[in-house]
């Protein structure tokens, strides 16, 4: 039995507040989780970037967002394995999302900031998977 290969999408957008405002960071995470859910509902497989950061913020985790073993570096590993990147609204205000987009461009990875364009790419991707 051949298993279907879902389009793997890396969502990129703001997470941490530039001013250290915890409420702003939580709003960013919540917005990112909504986009992850929407991508999932459309039949794609989003990498749960925003869930990972929420877990860290809500626990006493010693994992940091910087350094060799940091969560950001783990996220980049997943970005490099994704089929495409989706830039959620507000991405251009995030230094992390800008850096992730640059990595995606270096890899020749398709990138989208419009969900309808992502859907078009998904349909093309799925058509290729059936041949």
Look at residues 92, 87, 12 and name the one whose alpha carbon lies nearest to residue 49: 12
In the chain, the domains with their CATH numbers are 10-129 (3.40.50)
* Confidence tier at 57 by pLDDT (50, 70, 90): low
What are 1's two structure tokens? 């039995």
Helix ranges (DSSP H) in the chain: 22-41, 49-58, 71-79, 95-106, 115-129
Angle between helices 71-79 and 49-58 (to 10 degrees): 170
Angle between helices 49-58 and 22-41 (to 10 degrees): 140
Cross-strand bridge partners of residue 86 = 11, 112
- pTM summary value: 0.86
CB 24, CB 101: distance < 8 Å: no
Express each pLDDT in 69-112 by its tens digit.
567 778 888 999 999 999 999 999 999 899 999 999 999 999 99
Express each pLDDT in 10-48 by its tens digit.
999 998 888 888 899 889 999 999 999 999 999 999 998
């Amino acid at each position: 039995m051949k298993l279907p290969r879902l389009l793997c999408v890396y969502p990129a957008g703001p997470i941490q507040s530039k001013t250290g405002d915890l409420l702003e960071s939580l709003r960013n995470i919540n917005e990112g989780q909504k986009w992850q859910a929407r991508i999932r509902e459309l039949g794609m497989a989003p990498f749960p970037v925003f869930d990972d950061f929420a877990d860290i913020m809500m626990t006493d985790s010693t994992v940091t967002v910087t350094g060799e073993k940091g969560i950001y570096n783990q996220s980049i590993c997943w970005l490099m394995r994704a089929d495409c990147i989706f830039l959620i609204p507000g991405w251009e205000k995030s230094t992390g999302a800008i850096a992730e987009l640059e990595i995606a461009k270096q890899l020749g990875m398709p990138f989208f900031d419009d969900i309808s364009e992502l859907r078009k790419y998904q349909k093309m991707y799925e058509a290729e998977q059936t041949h």
